Structure 1
Amino acid sequence: MLCIISGNMRVITDEGSWITPPGQACWVPSEANHLVTFTQSSEFRTISIRSDLLTDLPKKCCVIKLSPLLRELILTAIKIGWDYRLESYEARLMQLLIEKIPLEKETPFFIPEGRDSRLKKVTSAMHENVRIDYTLKHWGNVAGASPRTLARLFELEMGMSFSTWRQQLCLLHAIEMLLKGQSITNTAFTLGYSSAGNFTSMFTQAMSKSPTAYLKEWNINKEIL
């Protein structure tokens, strides 16, 4: 499990990408082939768990929000290290950490990927320059496919509509931009929103807090961690 203290991380697998901002952790199963990239200078902590203790833990990658208790358990576990007796207080603390992981709330920081070559051409281009005002017609010209074909591929391979996937990608890019110090207004216009207010409404609906509140919480967590 990779826990982000500052900066921002992406975990990429064949299924898609998980963005992990500060105050979150990305759970990666031991058998999952994955690539970790950092979109800015970052600080993180890694927790490794023995394979025989994974029974009740997630079977797939996921991003979870670190509750205050789990955060403290992780920091304490790192200080303890590997040198402790099996019947000790330290061992009980490690067991509590393991039991707490599957109880944490998953966060909506996953963007799936498809396999069709036309779809991959579109999503690759969108990762480089996503805008909420670029339609399927625009991306159809990039992929050499009709809007109807692309719409069908998004539903079939992503399990969601094009507009839902596009908004999710905009959200993930917005988080990365805000964490890098971009203003809310600049982030909104870069992503193609007609106003900062429209962008803020999208962000608040998805994250249950405004961009300003999100950044304030991140700064508090950064100080604690």
Structure 2
Amino acid sequence: MEFADSAPILAGHLPYPLACRILHFTPKSVMDRHSSPWAELNFALSGMMEIGIGGVTYLSPPQYAIWIPPHVEHCCQNEGDVHYACIGVPAAACDGMPDKPCTLEISPVMRTILADFERRGIRYPATPEDRRMAQVVIDQIRQARAYASYLPSTSDTVLAPVLSALQRNPGDKRGATHWAATAGITERTLLRYCQQHLGMSFNEWRQRLRVVSALGLLDAGHSVQTVARDLGYSTPSAFIAMFQRLTGESPDSARKRGMQPVS
């Protein structure tokens, strides 16, 4: 397993509204547990990052970010190649922002500004123009739609293997009855465990998994028809309806946005 460098230290004494780091991780990379006096907004420009916070694994697919308040310990790992942004926000600028780790939707405005910073190599916005754009990013974080965790996980010894198997093959069509049998429990118990440990139903978790998987595939340029087939949908229209209901946009729009250059 390949280990990433330890987290870069932010210059906390500098009076900038935020700090931008664009990081690249090769497959099977790991960043050891660490914390920062700054808050962090982590989101994938491509690929899928897994961030561990307090025993919970947060997934950071394209179009969604993980918000980590100041001084909260976390670690990172990834299965595949990941190119992602880490936006540091000074603690003094965190008023009105979530006080607990959560998942935030990323707006097109925020992505455009940060892509411009990346293109010009801006780490600490210093000019009046760049600081104004950085303030827009701060405002966008405050306004972003938040989720406790878009795709929650659990360390429960009965439920965790079921979720892991589904994550390896999100297009698996077999239902709750099959997965309960593999876990040696009744279907009713499986459904109860999902509500207890995940805070949602088995079917809702599976749909969110498919959305997360679809975002990665669409971001890589796969067609809507191919993604629908790979995720087990009998028709593209059924997949499109599910995706639009959960994300508020069509998969084709997500695919086209993901294919836009990030620098």
Give the structure 1 partner of residue 32 of structure 2. none
Q: 1:3 deviation in Å? A: 4.2
Give the structure 2 partner of residue 129 of structure 1. 169
In structure 2, relative to structure 1, the CA distance for the partners of 1:193 and 1:69 (3 Å cut) is closer
Q: 1:106 deviation in Å? A: 4.1
Distance of 1:31 and 1:121 partners within structure 2: 31
Gaps of 5+ in 2: 1-40
Give the structure 2 partner of residue 61 of structure 1. 102
**Contact preservation (8 Å) 2:221, 2:255:** no
Deviations 1:131-150 (A, max 9, x none): 36221111112211111110
TM-score, normalised to structure 2, is 0.69
Residue 167 of structure 1 aligns to which amino acid in structure 2?
A: Q
Residue 240 of structure 2 aligns to which amino acid in structure 1?
A: T
Distance of 2:86 and 2:160 partners within structure 1: 31
Give the structure 1 partner of residue 60 of structure 2. 19
Distance of 2:70 and 2:227 partners within structure 1: 36
Structure having the larger proportion of residues in helix: 1
In structure 2, relative to structure 1, the CA distance for the partners of 1:150 and 1:67 (3 Å cut) is same
Give the structure 1 partner of residue 232 of structure 2. 192
Q: Tell me the matched-pair count.
A: 219
Distance of 1:25 and 1:125 partners within structure 2: 24
- Determine which of 27, 49, 60 is the counterpart of 2:89: 49
In structure 2, relative to structure 1, the CA distance for the partners of 1:197 and 1:39 (3 Å cut) is farther
Does 207-216 or 152-161 show the bigger shift? 207-216
Q: 1:160 deviation in Å? A: 1.0
Q: 1:58 deviation in Å? A: 1.8
TM-score, normalised to structure 1, is 0.79
1:31 is paired with a residue whose SS is coil
1:223 equivalent to 2:256? Answer no
Does 176-185 or 37-46 show the bigger shift? 37-46
Residue 50 of structure 2 aligns to which amino acid in structure 1?
A: V
Gaps of 5+ in 1: none
Give the structure 1 partner of residue 29 of structure 2. none
1:62 is paired with a residue whose SS is strand
**Contact preservation (8 Å) 1:10, 1:38:** yes
Give the structure 2 partner of residue 206 of structure 1. 246
Residue 107 of structure 2 aligns to which amino acid in structure 1?
A: L
In structure 2, relative to structure 1, the CA distance for the partners of 1:69 and 1:116 (3 Å cut) is closer
Identity %: 25
Residue 12 of structure 1 aligns to which amino acid in structure 2?
A: I
Residue 223 of structure 1 aligns to which amino acid in structure 2?
A: P
1:36 is paired with a residue whose SS is strand
In structure 2, relative to structure 1, the CA distance for the partners of 1:213 and 1:95 (3 Å cut) is closer
Residue 11 of structure 1 aligns to which amino acid in structure 2?
A: E
**Contact preservation (8 Å) 2:115, 2:262:** no
Give the structure 2 partner of residue 174 of structure 1. 214
